[in-house]
Amino acid sequence: MKTWHVGSFKVTEIPEFPIAVGLLDGVIAEATPDVVRGIDWMRPDFANEQGQTLWDVHSYVVDTGDQIILIDGGCGNGKSYPMQPSWTDLDTPFLDRLTEAGYSPDDIDILLCTHLHLDHIGWFSMKDSAGRWVPTFPHARLVLVRDEYERHLAQMLSPEDEESAAGAGADDDPIARAFLADSASLSKQTKLIQEETFDPIVEQGLLELVPTNAEVVPGVRYEQTLGHTAAHHSVRLSSEGRSAFVTGDFIHHPMQIARPEWSSQGDWDGATTGRNRRAFFEAAAGTDLLILGTHFTGAGAGYIVEDGEGFRLANAPA
């Protein structure tokens, strides 16, 4: 299990599952196999020899010494995800891996989430022995940026509006279904997420909404990184003069370090995301800011260094 130390903070990656190779081909449209093969540092951690990008789903536990925080909640078990059927009704040993890392669900004090897409929220609730959805981490506050939660809620349409907004053909293409869905499909998926994941937390009074760029506890704060969603936030960790940055989908894949302007098909505003990524890399290059990529495979983390007109992820600061 991968762990890092950021000052006095201990950060542990809790893996959920590797994403099937090929499932996300085309998510970054410019990242064709020929292009990916031409960037040598992508292999073997982030791409295979055929030039296909590699991805996974995982969470992070941040142990500050005073608080134990889980950042992003993966897909979860038994969830209903019509926008990504291959992640529906999963049965993964995520909680066993949490235990192997030294933590139980009862130990988690705070849940954070970079954005409320289905592969970042699932483990916040689970089914109990009676088949009811309940909070997975019974003592944890779910601390969300208010604007992101309200964006999520606004995607839910009335049944009448869903019927009039329904599109056609998305089910024929997994990229279109998952990343370019019509508003009716998005509404139905959002309602399922609300019912299966957020309502149990709201009912227990465990949801806390905070403003943009809020500090959650000393040394742990949300940092606005707009573009993937209209209110996407990454998480910055700071302790004893050291710092780390949990990307969320601000950096969806390390290809976007090499080519900052290449955005995901699922970005709300790809141009904004690209500009923000380049500015972030220019500021981070050559520093000791540890980048923790929410979908990064292999080493899973590194430091930004300049590399021609783009950047690369290095094992050590420049």
Q: Does the structure show a pLDDT above 90 at 18? A: yes
* pLDDT score, position 286: 96
Supply the angle between the helices 183-193 and 146-154 in degrees, to the nearest 10: 120
**Distance, CA of 137 to CA of 134 (rounded, Å):** 9
Q: Does the structure show a pLDDT above 70 at 122? A: yes
**Distance, CA of 298 to CA of 2 (rounded, Å):** 10
Share of the chain above pLDDT 70, in %: 98
The 10 Å Cβ neighbour count of residue 53 is 25
Q: Does the structure show a pLDDT above 60 at 170? A: no
Q: Does the structure show a pLDDT above 70 at 167? A: no
Over residues 22-78, the pLDDT tens digits come to 999 999 999 999 999 999 999 999 999 999 999 999 999 999 999 999 999 999 999
Pairing of strands 207-210, 141-145: parallel
The 10 Å Cβ neighbour count of residue 172 is 8
* pLDDT score, position 318: 78
**Distance, CA of 38 to CA of 51 (rounded, Å):** 9
The pLDDT mean for the chain works out to 95
Contacts of 257 (CB under 8 A, 6+ apart): 251, 281, 304, 310, 311, 312, 313
* pLDDT score, position 169: 46
The structure tokens 């949300």 sit at 222
For residue 95, how far is the Cα from the chain centroid?
A: 18
Domain spanning 3-314: which CATH class is it, in words?
A: alpha beta
Confidence of residue 268 (pLDDT cuts 50, 70, 90): very high
179 vs 86, higher pLDDT:
86
The structure tokens 């800011």 sit at 289
Tokens (6 digits) for 37: 């093969």
Confidence of residue 299 (pLDDT cuts 50, 70, 90): very high
Q: Contact, 42 vs 49, CB < 8 A?
A: no
Average pLDDT over every residue of 247-259: 98
